A and B are shown apart, each in its own frame.
Chain A
Amino acid sequence: MLPVISIDGLGKSYRIRHRAGAPYRTLREDIMRLPRRLLGMDQVESTEEFWALGDVNLEVAEGDRVGIIGRNGAGKSTLLKLLSQITEPSAGRIVLRGRVASILEVGTGFHPELTGRENIFLNGAILGMNRAEVRRKFDEIVAFAGVERFLDTPVKRYSSGMYVRLAFAVAAHLESEVLVIDEVLAVGDAEFQKKCLGKIEDVSRLEGRTILFVSHNMNAIQSLCNRAVLMEQGRVKLDTADVRQATHDYLGLSGGGVSGWTNPSPESCTLPVVPLGLHIQTKDGNAAKPIIANDEEVWVAVDIELKVLDPALTLGYVLYSEDGQVLYWSYQTDGRECDWPALSVGKVRLRSPLPRRLLNEGTYRVEFISSFHFRQWLTAPGTGPSINFTIQGGLSESPLWHVRRPGTLAPVLPWGLANDEGG
């Protein structure tokens, strides 16, 4: 049987302009540059080709429920845009054998001034339904969204929950062989998300429709999909029916549970300080759980074998964010000299608490470094053993802060009235 979707060597490249910071060209700018360009004095604008998606091969059989996972920028959205024909590929091809309906955003084209009824027809038409089709499904859509009483109210007066329910209802009632859904469940309350997931499940299990589903919600992926595709840097890294495994891989946890590193061959190391292990631990020395809450107390533990003692010996780690940015270095010699741990020749375990309530949700990397201060790197940054860990949850006890905020750090800082401070 021919697959519903065959993707063959698919790629999409964008040109990135390096000259100006502005994303758009302006006429003024181009006119100002014209004389210089005519005289040949203008340096060629440097553009770089960036492949958001490269050499993707995928076959989706009818009835498959494919979960597509990966970090931001891994190419998931680009893939969906190509499948939805919003943008053209730069290489390769997709063969679709059936109608594809995509929901890349809840409520695309909804107009706040129009009533619920009007928006159902508008949104339906935008998503590719004809009027007869919308009329046939109208009651079902209204019932699912639960907005019967507000059909003739402009949607700008809807609560955000009602708005999202109506928008999802229209999209979910599209008649198509393939349904493509991009992270739509990120909006709406928990109850509604459950309802959406239920609807998606009905659509796939009962009606046998094929589903491509992008989400960062691993629970949703695990409960809904029978196949997972893990994307990384524009490529398919893993394509498996073992959905649990794929979600684990995505969270960077596979291969021996929590991030820990043990030197496989310490005897071959000729350094005066031999790194033996690097671990994330709980306070009482056990291995930390795979996912660490932002407010949890965990420790970075470094095992070494010291062959010589040197007063200038520094040991520590570098903390990197997900995109490889250095967040900080930390050494055992950072405090007052009298507080430094007293080292001795032989095997030593040093540990240091990871700052609580500092790191935002995300994946981080700890790399072991050591040196004779100002004389010699023993293990230079970029060459040391490293481990990953993931921070998720525990951001705050505030009732107003429960989703990930932008930024690498997510500290909870004290606030008070200026008077109190001064008083």
Chain B
Amino acid sequence: MDSQATTTASMGNRAEVVIEPGYSGRKYWHDLWRYRELLVILGWRDIAVRYKQTFLGVAWAALRPLLTMAAFTLVFSRLAGLSSDGGVPYPLMVFAAMLPWYFFASAMTGASESLVENANLVSKVYFPRLLVPAAAIAVAAADFAVAVGVMFALMLLYQFQPSLQILAVLPLALLTGVLALGPGLMLCALNVTYRDFRYVVPFATQFGLYVSPVGFSSAIVPDRFRFVFELNPMVGIIDGFRWALLGASGFPARSLAISVVACMLLLYLGLSRFRAAERRFADII
């Protein structure tokens, strides 16, 4: 009798979970917090696997932007004769833009493919699905960190001394990561529904590379196109990076404000699209 009473008491302390149609929406944020350690572990897994698997490992993360930088410098500076902001070495200006651009592009691509790649997890274990695309961004962040190291090496090479505003790179990088998450979530949901959607994403990032001021300075854009140009949220971020790292151009207040607003809007849209689709993932994946 006694033991039964104790069991009942201990059972009273246990959390009671009710599973019924539509229940998952109610405990969403609570669960997300409860599974925060899994986010860290999934991110760590993706990074560990990436650097173990890729033949060149860390070198690849450094090499890719370096090669692009060389090509862009050749085309835009040598062939097209464009000039950089305030006499900064052209390669440095290109590389400063490459940092956020590759972070954004690979974070968005990684997030969009993450759920399909982790289909076995999604169909066999419960956890908030949002963790998967969020963890995919960690891999891009690790590549970004390597590339930042390369940036410092380049600065040394060109004997370029940055000023204190270089600290602004951290909040700017955070903004880039969040900006990638919004569309990443939308694409992720679309990728689960439409299996041929993944062919669209590389095209979109390729296109984005040319309409963003990566190979050239924003200063060369004529004033009458300026506002339309700045509607691309990456413009504010790239100019922000150039301001923080090189200090040759002014602080891009207007375009950066546009980036922040776009980032919030895309994140909201991404989250709502993702959550609407999330419930069906396990059934169709």
The answer to whether A85 and B120 have CB atoms under 8 Å apart is no
Is there an interface contact between B37 and A130, defined as CB atoms closer than 8 Å? yes
A122 cross-chain contacts in B, Cβ below 8 A: 41, 45
**Contact of B37 with A84 in the complex, beta carbons under 8 Å:** no
Interface centre among A104, A125, A127 (most CB of B within 10 A): A125
Given contacts A62-B7, A111-B49, A113-B49, contact A104 B283 (CB under 8 A): no
A252 at the interface (CB under 8 A from B): no
A-facing mask of B1-39, CB < 8 A → 1, else 0? Answer: 000100110010011111111111000000000010110
A279-329 interface (Cβ within 8 A of B): none
- Cβ–Cβ contact B125 & A177, under 8 A: no
Question: Which chain B residue shows the least CB distance to A93?
Answer: B20
Instruction: Contact check, B18 vs A108: say whether CB atoms are below 8 A apart.
Output: no
- The verdict on B124 contacting chain A, using a C-beta distance below 8 Å, is yes
Q: In A80-113, which residues have CB < 8 Å from any B CB?
A: 81-100, 102, 104-105, 108-109, 111, 113
Residue pair A95, B7 in contact (C-beta under 8 Å): no
Interface centre among A87, A108, A127, A154 (most CB of B within 10 A): A87
Contact partner of B37 among A62, A98, A105, A131, CB < 8 A? A131
Contact with A along B185-216 (1 / 0, CB 8 A): 00000100111110010000000000000000
Q: Which residue of B lies closest to A15 (CB)?
A: B283
Contact of A84 among B14, B125, B194, B200 (CB under 8 A): B125
Segment touching B, from A24-32, A261-269, A338-346 = A24-32
Chain A residue at smallest Cβ distance from B18: A95
Contact of A41 with B by CB under 8 A: no
Cβ contact within 8 Å between B283 and A87: yes
Instruction: Compute how far the CA of A205 lies from the CA of B125 in the bound complex, rounded to whole angstroms.
Output: 26
Q: Are the C-beta atoms of A114 and B193 separated by less than 8 Å?
A: no
The answer to whether B124 touches A104, judged by C-beta atoms less than 8 angstroms apart, is: yes
Least Cβ–Cβ distance between B92 and chain A, in angstroms: 36
Answer yes or no: A14 CB below 8 A from chain B CBs.
yes
B4 touches A108 (CB 8 A): no
Q: With contacts A1-B7, A1-B8, A88-B24 known, is A94 near B18, CB below 8 A? A: yes
A residues near B168, Cβ cutoff 8 Å: none
Q: Number of contact residues on B: which range applies?
A: 35 or more
A95 to B19: give the CA distance in the assembly, Å.
6
Q: Mark A51-87, 1 if CB is under 8 A from B, else 0.
A: 0000000000010000000000000000001111111
- Expressed in whole angstroms, the Cα–Cα distance for A404 and B30 within the complex equals 45
Closest B residue, CB atoms, query A112: B49
Q: Is A206 an interface residue (CB 8 A)?
A: no
Assess the A96–B16 pair: CB atoms within 8 A.
yes
Please tell me if B265 contacts chain A, counting CB pairs below 8 Å.
no
**Chain B neighbourhood of A389, CB < 8 A:** none
Given contacts A89-B19, A98-B14, A122-B41, are A109 and B49 in contact (CB under 8 A)? no
B64 within 8 A of A: no
The answer to whether the Cβ of A2 comes within 8 Å of any Cβ in the partner chain is yes
B14 lies within 8 A of A125 (CB): no
| Nearest CB in chain B: distance from A153 CB, A | 13
The residue on A at minimum CB distance from B45 is A122
- CA gap between A122 and B118 in the complex, in Å: 14
Q: Which of A89, A111, A154 contacts B20 (CB 8 A)?
A: A89
Is A126 among interface residues, defined by CB-CB distance under 8 A? yes
B124 touches A85 (CB 8 A): no
Contact A28 B120, beta carbon cutoff 8 Å: no
**With A97-B11, A109-B121, A114-B48: A126-B127 Cβ-Cβ less than 8 Å:** yes
CA distance A89 to B18 in the complex (A): 11
Q: Please determine whether B282 and A87 come into contact, CB atoms closer than 8 angstroms.
A: yes
Residues on B with C-beta less than 8 A from A138 are: none
Quick check: is B157 within 8 A (CB to CB) of the other chain? no
Q: How far, in angstroms, from A92 to B284 measured CA to CA in the complex?
A: 22
Within 8 A of A (CB), among B264-285: 279, 282-284
A177–B24 touching, CB < 8 Å: no
Determine whether A175 belongs to the interface, using a CB cutoff of 8 Å to chain B. no
Residue on B nearest A2 in the bound complex, by CB = B11
- For window 108-135 of chain A, which residues contact chain B by CB distance below 8 Å? 108-109, 111, 113-114, 118, 121-122, 125-128, 130-131
Residues of A within 8 A of B49 (CB): 111, 113-114
Partner of B126 from the list A85, A109, A130, A177 (CB cut-off 8 Å) is: A85
**Measured between alpha carbons, how far is A126 from B123 in the docked complex, in Å?**
12
Q: How far is the CB of A109 from chain B (nearest CB, A)?
A: 5
Asked if B18 and A93 make an inter-chain contact with CB atoms under 8 angstroms apart, the answer reads yes
| CB<8 Å pairs between A and B, sample of 28 | A1-B11, A2-B11, A25-B193, A27-B196, A27-B200, A84-B126, A85-B126, A86-B122, A88-B21, A88-B279, A94-B20, A96-B16, A96-B17, A96-B18, A97-B16, A99-B15, A104-B124, A105-B120, A105-B124, A108-B124, A109-B120, A109-B121, A111-B49, A113-B53, A121-B41, A125-B38, A128-B35, A130-B37
Q: A96-B16, A108-B124, A177-B14 are in contact. List 4 more A-B contacts (CB 8 A).
A: A86-B126, A94-B18, A125-B37, A131-B37
